[in-house]
Amino acid sequence: MSTIARRTFLGRLLAWWSNPWGQPRFLVLFAWAYVLWSLIPVAVAVMFGFNDGRSRSAWQGFSLRWYYQDPDFSVLHDPSLRDALVQSLKLAGLTMLIATPLGVALAIGLARWRGRGARPANFLMLFPLVTPEIVMGVALFLVFVHLFGFVQLGTQAQLLGHVTFTISYVVIVVRGRLFAVGREYEEAAIDLGASQWQAIRMVLLPMLAPAIWASLMIAFAISIDDFVITAFLTGDQSSATIPVKLYSAARAAPSPALNALASILLFASMLAIGIALSVMRRSRKKEGAQGSAVEDFARLEL
C-alpha cells in the first residue's frame, strides 16, 4: 500500500484493520456496533418526543409541544398522560420508602442469623427473584380478588405487589456491603462497652449507609420500571402507570406525547440510577478501593 493511500481515511482504516499487533479488530467493531444498535432506537424515540409535528417518523423541528405547550395533547395537559406520570412517581416513591427498611432489616438478619430457619428464609428471599413476573402478577391478582378482598385493585394492590418484588433486590444490594464490612467493627464496639443495639445503631448502620442510599434509588428505579405486575394489579385507567399506559397506547393511539411520556420515565430512572452509582462511587473513593463503581454495579446484577 502506498503512503498516499495511507493518508486517506479508508487507507487508515484498512491499515488499522490489518495491523496484527493491535486488538482484535472484529471484536472492537462488533462491540461498538452492538452498543449503537442497543441505544440508537431509544435515542430516536426520545428525539421524536421533541418533534414539532404529529409524525413519529419525519422530523419537523424541535419543540416542547408534547411536553407542556400543546393545550390538549401534551403530557402536562392530557389528563390520562399526566395521571400516569403522577401515579408512577407516587407508587415508586412509596415502594422505595417501605421496601428499603424491610429489605435492610432482612439483609442484616439473614447475614447474621445462623439458626435452623436461616436457610429456608434465605431461599424465601431469593424465590421472588427467579419467579417469572407473570406468575407473580397472576398470583397477586388472584389473592387480592379472592382472598384479601379488603385490598382494592389499584394503588393499594400495586403498592403491596411492588414492595413484594422489590424487597429481594434491596437485600442483594445491602448484603454485598454487609459481607464486605464483616463483624469486626461491631465486636470492637461491644468490647469497648457498647450494647448490642448501640453497636448496630452507631457502627453497623453508618457503615451500611452507602448501600442503603443505593438500594433506595434502585428500589425506586425497579418500581417505576415495572410493567407486568403493575398491569395485573391496575384496577381502572385512573391507576395506570406510565408503562401500563405505554402498553395500551403504543399501537392504539400513538402520538409524540407518548414518546415524551416515555422519555420522562427514562430521565427519572436514569436520575435514580445515576444517584445510586455516584453514592457507591463516593464511598469507594473514601475507602480507597480498587476498580470502579460501575464494575461493582455490573457484577451486582444477578
Partner 1 sequence: MSKQADERGVVGERRWLWPSFALPGVVWLIILFITPLYVIFAMAMGTTDPIFGDTLPVWNPLRWDYATFGEVLNELFTGQLGLVFLRTLVYVVVATALSLLIGYPVAYYVARHAGRYRVLLLLLIIAPFWINYLMRMLAWVNLLSTDGYVNQILLFFGVLDAPREWLVGKHETVVLGLVYGYVPFLILPLFAALDRIDPRVIEAARDLGASPAQAFFRITLPLSSQGVLAGCVIIMLPMFGDYYTATLLSGSPKTNMISKLIEQNINASAGGSTGAALTIVLMVFVGLLMTYYLYSVARATKEARS
- Whether the CB-CB separation of 241 and 87 falls below 8 Å is answered with yes
Cα–Cα nearest to 246, from 268, 222, 217, 225 = 225
Q: Does 150 bind partner 1 (CB under 8 A)?
A: no
* Cβ–Cβ < 8 Å for 172, 198: no
Locate 212 and state its grid cell: 442503603
Task: Return the number of other C-beta atoms located less than 10 Å from residue 209's C-beta.
Answer: 12
What separation, in Å, do the N-terminal and C-terminal C-alpha atoms of the chain show?
Answer: 49
**13-72 residues near partner 1, rule: CB under 8 A:** 23-24, 26-28, 30-31, 34-35, 38-39, 41-42, 44-45, 48, 56-58
Determine the residue type at 32.
Answer: W
**C-beta of 11 vs 102, nearer to partner 1:** 102
Taking CA atoms, 302 is separated from 5, 146, 168, 228, 296, in Å, by 49, 33, 11, 19, 12
Grid cell of 119 as nine digits: 436457610
Q: How far is the CB of 11 from partner 1 (least distance, A)?
A: 24
Q: How far is the CB of 66 from partner 1 (least distance, A)?
A: 14
One character per residue 191-210, x = contact with partner 1 (rule: CB under 8 A): x-x-xx--x-----------
With 0-12 / 13-18 / 19 or more C-beta atoms within 10 angstroms meaning exposed / middle / buried, residue 13 is: exposed
Question: Does residue 133 bind partner 1 (CB under 8 A)?
Answer: yes
Cell 391478582 sits at which residue?
Answer: 141
187 makes contact with partner 1 (CB under 8 A):
yes
State the nearest-atom distance from the C-beta of 5 to partner 1, in Å.
27
Q: How far is the CB of 91 from partner 1 (least distance, A)?
A: 14
The number of residues that bind partner 1 (CB under 8 A) is: 102
- For 213, the grid coordinates are 442510599
Restricted to residues 245-274, the positions that interact with partner 1 (CB under 8 A) are 246-247, 250-251, 254, 258-259, 262-263, 265-266, 269-270, 272-273
Query: Going by C-beta distance under 8 Å and a sequence separation of 6 or more, which residues neighbour residue 240?
Result: 80, 83, 84, 87, 234, 248
C-alpha 123, offset from chain centre: 23
236 binds partner 1 (CB under 8 A): no
Closest CB 117 distance from partner 1, rounded Å: 6
171 is an interface residue for partner 1 by CB under 8 A? yes
Of 251 and 286, the one with the shorter C-beta distance to partner 1 is: 251
Among 1, 4, 10, 147, binds partner 1 (CB under 8 A): 147
- Any contact of residue 73 with partner 1 (CB under 8 A)? no
Nearer to partner 1, 2 or 57 (CB): 57
